[in-house]
Structure 1
Amino acid sequence: MRRKIHRAPMAVASALLLGVFATSCSTEDPTDSTSGTDESSETSESPDASEESPADEQEWFDQAVYDEQYEQRSATFEGDSATPWLQYIDGEMTDTAEYKSNKAGKACFANASISNPWRQTGWITMNQQLEALQEKGVISEMETRDAGDDDNTQIADIDYFISEGNCDAFIISPNSTAAMTDAVERACETGKPVVVFDRGVETDCATTFIHPIGGFAWGIDTAEFLIDNLEEGDKVVALRILPGVDVLEQRWAAAEKLFEENGIEAVDFFTGADPTEIKTFITDELNKGEVQGVWMDAGDGAVAAIEAFEDFGADLPVMTGEDEMSFLRKWEETGLTGLAPVYSNFQWRTPLLALEKIWAGEEVPKEWVLPQVPITEDERGDYLEANDGMPDGHYAKFGGEDLPGYPEVWQERQIP
C-alpha cells in the first residue's frame, strides 16, 4: 500500500509566517502566573500541521516498543482500579528518599499548552487536584507557564524556572519530543525532582515519566477495531492532528502497519483539528468513491467528520474517535459502528500525586504507565450517564469525580 500524506493547503503560507513570528518573539522571560496561565496562552491555537516536515522524514515505528505496548494492553496494573490515576505496571522504581521533606513544596509547571479540549479538561482537573493537596499542606503553590504550543517558548519557560531558583520540583508536559530533551536535562541537573508527563522526551533523567500505555496501543486498538468491522480493500480516511509528537506519530505508525498488513486502503491527512479542513478532506475523498472507515489520532473534530458524511448523503463510516463527549453523543445519536479510544485524561492528576509521594520519600515508578482502556458501545451509555451535564469538550475518563468543585467546575468549564 502506498502511503499518502496530505495537508491543509490554504494554511501553509500563514502557518509558516506564524512560525517565524513565534520564534522571533520568543523571550527569555515570558509572562508567568501562579496556579494559572497567562491570557495569551488561553487564546493560542495549535500550530497548523503544514508548517512541519512530513512525518515520514523521521521513522517513528519501533517494533520493540510496539510489541511491549501490545502486551501492556492486557497487563495487570498495581493499585486500586477505583483510582486508575495511581495505578502502574510493575517495573523499575525510583528511590526518592533524598527528596523527603516535612514542609509544603513549590511546584513549577512548564505546560505545552491548553489549546485543545483534551488539555483544557486535564488542566481543570489538575488545578482541582492542586487545591486538594494545598489543603493537605503538601504543595504551597504551583507556578505555571504556558508555552502556547511553541517549542522555543517552552524551552525559555524551563530555563526561567531553573534560573529563578525557587522551585522545589519541576513538572513538564513537553510540547514536542526531541526539542524539549536538552531543557528537561537541564532541569534534572538542578538536583530537584523532575516529573515529565503526557508526551515523552529523549532522555530518562526524570524522576518519573507518567503516561498511559502509549501511542502504539492506541493505534493497535483502533486499527484492529476497523479491520474487524471492514472488508479487505475498503478505504479508510485517517485524520491526524499534527506531526512531530511521539504519541501521535506512534498512533499512526501502528495503525498504518496493521492496515497495510490487512489490505485496508488508508489515506491520511493533517488537519490541525480544523472542522472545515476535516469536512473538505472527507468530502474530496467521497467525491472519488466510497469511504468505509474513519480513523483519528485525536478525537477533536470527530463530529465534523461524521457531519461530512451526513452532508454528502453517504452511509456513515465505521469510526474511531475519542472519549470526548461530543463524539460519544454523536455516536449514540447516529448509531454508527464506533469505538472511543482514550489517552487517559485522568493522567493530569498523577504528576501532583507523584510529588506527594516523592516529598514523602516514597518510591515512585521510573516509568509510570497508567491504564488506557477504550470505551466500547456497550459501555458508552454508562459514560454518557456519568457525565450528564458536562460540555461537549469534556472527556469522559477525566477522573475528577472525587475532587473539590465536582461537578460544577467541569460543567462550567472553569479554566484557571
Structure 2
Amino acid sequence: MRRSMKIATAGVALFGLIALAGCTTDPSVAPAESENPEETAETTEWFDQELFDKQDEERGVTPQGPEDEPYLQHINAEMVDTAEFASEGAKKACFANASISNPWRQTGWITMNEQLKSLQDAGAISEMETRDAQDSDDTQIADIDYFIAEGECDVFLISPNSTAAMTPAVERACETGKPVVVFDRGVNTDCPVTFIHPIGGFAWGIDTAEFLIDNLEEGDKVVALRILPGVDVLEHRWAAAEKLFDEAGIEAVDHFTGADPAEIKSIISDELAKGDVHGIWMDAGDGAVAAIEAFEDAGADYPVMTGEDEMSFLRKWKDTGLTGLAPVYSNFQWRTPLLAAQMIFAGEEVPKEWVLPQKPITEPELDDYLKANEGMPDGHYAKFGGENLPGYPTVWQQRQIP
C-alpha cells in the first residue's frame, strides 16, 4: 500500500531497514523493458561529448556558497528572481517522492525530515505532506495530480521517478502558479523555479576512471561491476570511464550484477580464474564488500578499487588497506529543496539549475569520515550533510525512517 503522510511536529517513528531493491544511487530514467536488456544498453549511444566536457569542467570549479554548508553551494549558477513568490508566514510543502526503496534514499529522507523540523522551528514551513510513489511512474503522476486537486500546497517539491513520464505532471504543477522545486532526477521542462542535483554521471565516471588509471599500468585489467543497463546516470558513469580506459590502454571488461553479492562474487571468481585482476570499477557502491571478499576468498592481492561513500565500503576499505576511492552522489542534496523553498518565499534569488558539488572521498580523508560517522549503520552515506541538524546523530544511527 502506498504511504501518504503529513509530517508536522509529530515524533519520528522507528522502522527497520527496508530491504534493498535496485541501485543505491538514483537513476534519472527508469530502464526500458526489453527481452534482452544488455542488448538495449549496447545499442544505445550514451556518450555525450558536450555533457562530458561540461561536467568535467564543473569538477574543477570552486562552488559558491557557505564553505561549511555544501547543500547550499552551487556551481556556475544562473540566478533567478523569485520576488513574485515572496510572502510572509509558514508555508505548506507538498512532496511527491519517487521512493525510499534503497539505503541512499532512506538516508536522504531522514535528513530531509530533520531539515523540516529546523524550518518548522524557524516558522518558515508549517508542514510537509508527502506521498511515496514506491518507484511507480503511474503512482507519482497520481500523487502530483492529487496535490494539485487538493489545492492546499504552497510549494511543490518533486523527486521524479523518471524523466519523460513525469514531465507533464510537473508542468501541471507549474500551471498552478505555485513554485515548483525538482531535485535529484530531472524532467524535460524548465518550468520549475529550480532544479537541484549534483554534477552528474559523467563526473563520477571521470573521477573513478582517472583514479584507476593513475594507480595502474597500461595493459592492466579492470573489472567493471554495473548494476543494470539502460539507466542514464549509470550509463553516463560507464560511458565516461570506458572512454578514458580505452585512451589509457587499460583492459576493461564490464558485467551487470543486479547488485547481487553472490553474482558479484561469481563474476570476480571467474575473472580471477582467467588471470590477474588489477582494478575494480563500480557504477554504484552496492556489493562493494562482496567484491573485496571475492579476492580474499581466492587468496588474491587486493585490487585498486572505486566504491561509494556508503559506510560498509568505507569500513572495508580501511580494514583492508586497499588503494581506494569513494565517489559520491551527494546525499546532502535532500536538504536543499526545503531550504530553496524558504529562500523562494523570502524573495531571494536561487539558481535556475542548482548544481551541487560532488567530491569523492580520498584516502587522506577516509579516517575523518569514519570518525565523523562512527556508530552509523552500514547503509548510511558518509556525505549526508546532517551534522548540524537537531536529531544528529541519534536518528541516523538508529535509522529512524519517518
User: Do these two structures clear the TM 0.5 threshold for a shared fold by scoring above it?
Assistant: yes
Pair 1:340-2:326 in alignment: yes
Pair 1:45-2:21 in alignment: yes
Do 1:215 and 1:251's aligned partners in 2 also have CA atoms closer than 8 Å? yes
Do 1:49 and 1:271's aligned partners in 2 also have CA atoms closer than 8 Å? no
Q: Secondary structure at the match of 1:81?
A: coil
Q: CA deviation at 1:370?
A: 1.0
In structure 2, what is the Cα distance between the partners aligned to 1:286 and 1:132? 51
Q: Which amino acid aligns with 1:159?
A: D
Q: Secondary structure at the match of 1:236?
A: strand
Do 1:199 and 1:246's aligned partners in 2 also have CA atoms closer than 8 Å? no
> Which structure 1 segments of 5+ residues have no match?
1-26
Do 1:176 and 1:244's aligned partners in 2 also have CA atoms closer than 8 Å? no
Do 1:95 and 1:363's aligned partners in 2 also have CA atoms closer than 8 Å? yes
In structure 1, what is the Cα distance between the partners aligned to 2:242 and 2:168? 31
Pair 1:34-2:6 in alignment: yes
Match of residue 288, structure 2, among 302, 307, 321: 302
Match of residue 178, structure 1, among 164, 173, 186: 164
Alignment-derived partner of residue 114 in structure 1: 100
Q: Secondary structure at the match of 1:113?
A: coil
In structure 1, what is the Cα distance between the partners aligned to 2:193 and 2:87? 16
Give the 3 Å change call, closer, same or farther, for CA 261–169 of structure 1 in structure 2: same
Match of residue 256, structure 1, among 225, 242, 256: 242
With 248-257 and 151-160 compared, the bigger mean Cα shift is at: 151-160
Do 2:71 and 2:335's aligned partners in 1 also have CA atoms closer than 8 Å? yes
Give the 3 Å change call, closer, same or farther, for CA 56–202 of structure 1 in structure 2: farther
Q: CA deviation at 1:51?
A: 5.1
In structure 1, what is the Cα distance between the partners aligned to 2:275 and 2:169? 48
Alignment-derived partner of residue 139 in structure 1: 125
Q: Deviations over 1:144-170 (max 9, x none)?
A: 122222222222222222222222111
Pair 1:93-2:76 in alignment: no
Higher relative contact order (CA 8 A, sep 6+): 2
Do 1:99 and 1:193's aligned partners in 2 also have CA atoms closer than 8 Å? yes
Alignment-derived partner of residue 271 in structure 1: 257
Q: TM-score, normalised by structure 1?
A: 0.87
Alignment-derived partner of residue 335 in structure 2: 349
Match of residue 286, structure 1, among 267, 272, 275: 272
Q: CA deviation at 1:404?
A: 0.7
Q: Deviations over 1:194-224 (max 9, x none)?
A: 1111122222221111111111111100000
Q: CA deviation at 1:44?
A: 7.5
Q: Which amino acid aligns with 2:101?
A: S
Q: Which amino acid aligns with 2:354?
A: W
Do 1:34 and 1:144's aligned partners in 2 also have CA atoms closer than 8 Å? yes
Q: Percent identity?
A: 75
For the aligned residues, what is the CA RMSD? 2.3
Q: Deviations over 1:314-355 (max 9, x none)?
A: 221110001111111100111111001111111110010000
Q: Secondary structure at the match of 1:300?
A: coil
Give the 3 Å change call, closer, same or farther, for CA 44–285 of structure 1 in structure 2: closer
> Which structure 2 segments of 5+ residues have no match?
24-29
Do 2:96 and 2:140's aligned partners in 1 also have CA atoms closer than 8 Å? yes
Give the 3 Å change call, closer, same or farther, for CA 216–339 of structure 1 in structure 2: same
Match of residue 299, structure 2, among 302, 313, 316: 313
Q: CA deviation at 1:31?
A: 4.3
Give the 3 Å change call, closer, same or farther, for CA 402–196 of structure 1 in structure 2: same
Give the 3 Å change call, closer, same or farther, for CA 109–244 of structure 1 in structure 2: farther
Matches within 5 A, 1:357-396: 357-396=343-382
